[in-house]
Amino acid sequence: MNSTAFQKIYTKLNQITKATCSVKAAGVGNEEMAIVSGRYAQVVKIIGDSVTLQIFSGTEGIGTDAEVVFLGKPPVLKVSDQLAGRFFNAYGEPIDGGPEVEGEEVEIGGPSVNPVQRKQPSELIATGIAGIDLNNTLVTGQKIPFFADPDQPFNQVMATVALRAEADKIILGGMGLSNDDYLYYKNTFENAGVIDRIISFVNTTENPPVERLLVPNMALTAAEYFALEKKEKVLVLLTDMTLYCDALSIVSNRMDQIPSKDSMPGSLYSDLAKLYEKAAQFPDGGSITIIAVTTLSGGDITHAIPDNTGYITEGQLYLRRDTDISRVIVDPFRSLSRLKQLVIGKKTREDHPQVMNTAIRLYADAANAKTKLENGFDLSDYDERVLKFAREYSQAILAIDVNIDTVNMLDTCWELFKKHFNKHEIGIKEEFMTQYWK
């Protein structure tokens, strides 16, 4: 945060609002970083000689005579292998007591990848969780959030996925993370002995909310370095994107922008897309995969945040407690991985797509049977059978603490099909029936 001699220093603020201040200055670039009274700020608007700055940690106590130092560059991160194993704040400054990172200074939130230079994602990410591997297979280069209620164990599931995913680097972008959750991640990674593969950029609930806006781009800039320069498989975890969006709305509100739905800025879709679209499979092997968390309020997915997210990401995962078996499952109905068809039946066994669909259809029939039961109607023989099937399917496969490979998952499905149903109730292509219905 040191200012050097050639930087321009101004001391006449002519406007101060809750999040921004304006100063008369010349030669300033749009989106340039500055330091106002020792606090980081960024240029968000320039009209004539009046430069408006957004002060990340708020304007409390800022005086009209505050010293404004322009840094002559947008937010940057120094990238090199030294990032590995380190913990940083939203500005990319170490918070683990370690030394400053040396490396090339890169602008964060840089340009997007030329679409024709991308490669089609085709590498499966195995997690051992059937709700993912069987029903919603993840692929490198994908972006997908957990849509979860705040009380659901999404941080635990995400940490499990991250550890099993066999990524070269795991980059955690924590936004409004509680200190406990931050320590949970830290300990989990440490205990698993993978700390040298982890990089964290963390804004906790103790830090000013607007600072969060820098976190995803810090994480993604580091990810681009490892994916492109080092051709590594990088997994980026972003939690909680809802808190990121809240920060966006605070800023736009204070800039007097007309809000659109749910008091979110009208540009929410583009703002989120710019981040999520950093997920990519690069031609020479490196990839960036983004797994995010978007917390819902009361399960409402029509709220602007999950709604816009769903339109951007390649599917979404829901957690649900299956009360029949008292365990958490990845909800087979609403969860979806859009990229799964690139790998299922191709990188996995050929019967995968049909087995997956059939099992889910039967699971849906079970849900209908349950409704019937609740409404006091008699169950048919078929209803009884799908209910039994659903319970066993949930128990043996779906529960997130089950850890098996896809072949095993598929075989188990076939066993359950045979156990509970007739051939014609299955409706799978005949060539697979002859092969697997034994």
User: 3-state SS of 389-418?
Assistant: HHHHHHHHHHECCCCCCHHHHHHHHHHHHH
Residue with smaller CB distance to ligand ATP, 311 or 437: 311
Looking at 20-28, 54-62, 88-96, 404-412, which segment touches another protein (CB under 8 A)? 20-28
DSSP state of 432: H
* Structure token pair of residue 402: 């089950």
Q: How far is the CB of 177 from another protein (least distance, A)?
A: 25
Which residues are at the interface with ligand ATP (CB under 6 A)? 310-311, 336, 338, 341
R_g of the chain computed on alpha carbons: 25
Q: How far is the CB of 311 from ligand ATP (least distance, A)?
A: 5
Query: Footprint of another protein on residues 349-388 (CB under 8 A)?
Result: 353, 357, 360-361, 364, 372, 375, 377-378, 380-382
**Which of 93-99's residues contact partners 24+ apart within 8 Å by CB, and which partners?**
95/202
Residue with smaller CB distance to another protein, 189 or 226: 226
Task: Single out the residue of 3, 17, 31, 82 in contact with another protein (rule: CB under 8 A).
Answer: 31
Token pair 């979110």 is at which residue? 264
Q: How far is the CB of 336 from ligand ATP (least distance, A)?
A: 6
* Structure token pair of residue 162: 């991250």
- Would you give the binding string for another protein spanning residues 307-336, x where CB under 8 A is met? x--xxx-xxx----------------xx-x
Looking at 10-18, 116-124, 157-165, 180-188, which segment touches another protein (CB under 8 A)? 116-124
Residue with smaller CB distance to ligand ATP, 140 or 252: 140
Kindly state the number of chain residues that form the binding site for another protein, as judged by CB under 8 A: 77
* Structure token pair of residue 134: 């069987």
CB atoms within 10 A of CB 64: 12
> Which burial class, exposed, middle or buried, applies to 108 when counting CB atoms under 10 A from its CB (0-12, 13-18, 19+)?
buried
- Give the closest residue to 349 by CA, choosing from 285, 410, 299, 265: 410
Q: How far is the CB of 407 from another protein (least distance, A)?
A: 21
CB atoms within 10 A of CB 120: 9
Asked if residue 437 binds another protein (CB under 8 A), the reply is no
- Give the closest residue to 280 by CA, choosing from 391, 404, 114: 114
3-state secondary structure of 142: coil
Query: Footprint of another protein on residues 120-159 (CB under 8 A)?
Result: 120-121, 141-142
Query: Footprint of another protein on residues 210-229 (CB under 8 A)?
Result: 228
* Structure token pair of residue 246: 């809240």
Residue with smaller CB distance to another protein, 164 or 347: 347
Residue with smaller CB distance to ligand ATP, 127 or 142: 142
Query: Footprint of another protein on residues 277-296 (CB under 8 A)?
Result: 277-278, 280, 282
